[in-house]
């Protein structure tokens, strides 16, 4: 009986795997079509300076609007795209779109010179493509300074220590872009690389922020990250701020920036423009 069961389990797993890879392939096909048919869109989530309360930056977050109108969150398709070169096509689309939006905002006077847009760059993209020259000349043609962009990368990329990747990162940084470590605290969080690499921002992962009120442990970690980052000359961004109490605590700790539903959800470009206009009018 055990043997029989083992065989069945094995068959079940095989079928399961076959089905999974079929679903993945279907997804890749649909994503390829989505690029051709222009089904992606970017949302923008403002990031606030906790001292002044003003919008300092906004993160570009991709969405996929299927032909039937459903909006697919990135968690459903980015991990699949990341296992193929499709993530590079998506990444190039995001970069171009972000530059176009910046050009537009600056042209219409809605973006002060200090407003930056931040985009997520996948490790595979940075590792397998040398986009530095292309990206910099694209920015030049659009008359958008590299200083208006932040690239968000994950710790894994740095720990990998691939020299070519690090050279690219350095080149982007030398050109004026800011580099942010996303989801800080969830990986190895080896502090040493923060000094060795051209990092400007540390984004403290939402998992710490969400329990900051109830867990002394998470509060201590957040505080330690803020203090350490400050000593290394880096700015800190708290991700996923949802309550007033979290906001107050982060401000008291000395965290520089906040991003989260408390302040604003990711919004369409048009809504973001309205928000910027309101802020301008209030000033």
Binders of Mg ion in range 227-246 (CB under 5 A): 239
Contact 55, 47 (CB under 8 A): yes
Binders of Mg ion in range 152-211 (CB under 5 A): 152, 182-183, 205
Q: Which does 117 bind (CB under 5 to 8 A by kind): ligand C2E, Mg ion, none?
A: none
Binders of ligand C2E in range 3-42 (CB under 6 A): none
Answer for which of 6, 53, 73, 176 binds ligand C2E (CB under 6 A) is 73
Contact 205, 195 (CB under 8 A): no
CA atoms within 13 A on the CB side of 231: 7
Cβ contacts of residue 165 below 8 Å, gap of 6+? Answer: 123, 126, 127, 157
φ, ψ at 54 (rounded to 5°) = -100, 155
Minimum Å gap between C-beta 264 and Mg ion is 15
Minimum Å gap between C-beta 55 and Mg ion is 16
Q: Which helix (H) or strand (E) holds 257?
A: strand 257-259
Answer for which of 45, 120, 154, 246 binds Mg ion (CB under 5 A) is 120
Minimum Å gap between C-beta 236 and Mg ion is 13
* # of chain residues touching Mg ion (CB under 5 A): 6
Q: Which is nearer to ligand C2E, 5 or 186 (CB)?
A: 186
Minimum Å gap between C-beta 169 and ligand C2E is 15
Q: Which is nearer to ligand C2E, 93 or 197 (CB)?
A: 93
Answer for which of 39, 92, 104, 183 binds ligand C2E (CB under 6 A) is 183
- Whole-angstrom CA distances from 93 to 57, 70, 182, 198, 243 are 20, 20, 20, 25, 34
Answer for which of 31, 34, 94, 199 binds ligand C2E (CB under 6 A) is 94
Alpha-carbon distance of 21 to 25, in angstroms, equals: 6
Residue 57, interface with Mg ion (CB under 5 A)?
no
176: left (phi over 0), alpha (psi -120 to 50) or beta: left
- Residue 41's CB is within 10 A of a number of other CB atoms, namely 14
Answer for which of 44, 106, 115, 122 binds ligand C2E (CB under 6 A) is 122
Q: Which is nearer to ligand C2E, 144 or 153 (CB)?
A: 153
Answer for which of 57, 155, 182, 218 binds ligand C2E (CB under 6 A) is 182
Contact 204, 171 (CB under 8 A): no
Q: Where are the alpha helices (DSSP H) in 129-215?
A: 132-142, 155-160, 163-175, 192-196, 206-209
Q: Which residues bind Mg ion (CB under 5 A)?
A: 120, 152, 182-183, 205, 239
Q: Which positions lie near ligand C2E, rule CB under 6 A?
A: 45, 61-62, 73-75, 78, 94, 120, 122, 152, 182-183, 206, 239-242, 259-261, 266
């Amino acid at each position: 009986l055990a043997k029989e069961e083992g065989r069945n389990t094995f068959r079940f797993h095989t079928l399961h795997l076959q089905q999974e890879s079929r679903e993945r392939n279907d997804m890749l096909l649909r994503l390829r079509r989505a690029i051709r048919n222009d089904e992606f869109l970017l949302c923008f989530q403002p990031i606030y300076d906790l001292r002044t309360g003003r919008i300092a930056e906004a993160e570009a977050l991709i969405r996929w609007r299927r032909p039937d109108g459903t909006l697919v969150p990135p968690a459903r398709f980015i991990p699949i795209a990341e296992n193929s070169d499709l993530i590079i096509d998506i990444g190039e689309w995001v970069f171009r779109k972000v530059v176009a939006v910046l050009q537009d905002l600056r042209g219409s006077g809605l973006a002060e010179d200090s407003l930056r847009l931040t985009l997520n760059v996948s490790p595979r993209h940075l590792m397998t493509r040398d986009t530095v020259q292309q990206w910099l000349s694209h920015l030049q043609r659009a008359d958008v300074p590299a200083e208006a962009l932040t690239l968000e990368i994950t710790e894994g990329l740095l720990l990998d220590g691939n020299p070519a990747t690090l050279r690219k990162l350095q080149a982007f940084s030398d050109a004026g872009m800011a580099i942010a470590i996303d989801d800080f605290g969830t990986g190895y969080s080896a502090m040493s690389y923060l000094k060795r690499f051209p990092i400007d921002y540390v984004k403290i992962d939402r998992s710490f922020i969400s329990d900051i009120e109830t867990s002394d442990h998470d509060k201590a970690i957040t505080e330690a990250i803020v203090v350490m980052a400050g000593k290394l000359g880096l700015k800190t961004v708290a991700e996923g701020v949802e309550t007033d109490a979290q906001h107050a605590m982060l401000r008291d700790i000395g965290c520089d920036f906040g991003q989260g539903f408390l302040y604003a959800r990711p919004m369409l470009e048009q809504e973001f423009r309205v928000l910027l206009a309101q802020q301008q009018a209030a000033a």
